[in-house]
Amino acid sequence: EVQLVESGGGLVQPGGSLRLSCAASEFTFSSFSMTWVRQAPGKGLEWVSVIGAGGSPPYYADSVKGRFTISRDDSKNTLYLQMSSLRVEDTAIYYCARKMNFGKYPVDYWGQGTLVTVSS
């Protein structure tokens, strides 16, 4: 069974930085595009970023462009989200998720999420 386990969340001050990780297992990680989706407390889902398999360029939501960087280490089966210049409105549960196929497909497996709280 596909497993995705996020880590790295926590409390950070506005303007600070944090790096999230997502450890993947039970599938060929290097063959799949991977995504981050977030959900502010009591709010809906917000797509954040995607990174393709094999070096295709990443995409970002306008709300995080220039502040967040998605990356992957296929040798470690791990997805990352480097977050900087954090704002109070970045407070959310951050989920990593696997895109189900190449092309215009949704995500099919999600992690359990990691909570990021931006507050002074």
In the complex, which residues of this chain contact another protein (CB under 8 A)? 35, 37, 44-47, 50, 59-62, 95, 97, 100, 104-108, 110-113
Q: Which is nearer to another protein, 1 or 120 (CB)?
A: 1
Q: Which is nearer to another protein, 12 or 97 (CB)?
A: 97
Task: Give the separation between CA 81 and CA 68, rounded to whole angstroms.
Answer: 7
Q: Which is nearer to another protein, 14 or 103 (CB)?
A: 103
User: From the CB of 27, what's the least distance to another protein, in Å?
Assistant: 15
User: From the CB of 45, what's the least distance to another protein, in Å?
Assistant: 4
Instruction: Return the amino acid letter for 85.
Output: S
User: From the CB of 90, what's the least distance to another protein, in Å?
Assistant: 16
Q: Which is nearer to another protein, 46 or 74 (CB)?
A: 46
Two structure tokens written together for 37: 């989706």
Burial 68-105 (b: 16+ CB within 10 A, else e): bbbebeeeebbbbbebeebeeebbbbbbbbbbeeeeee
Task: Give the separation between CA 41 and CA 104, rounded to whole angstroms.
Answer: 29
User: From the CB of 43, what's the least distance to another protein, in Å?
Assistant: 9
Cβ atoms of 120 and 66 within 8 Å: the answer is no
Instruction: Return the amino acid letter for 14.
Output: P
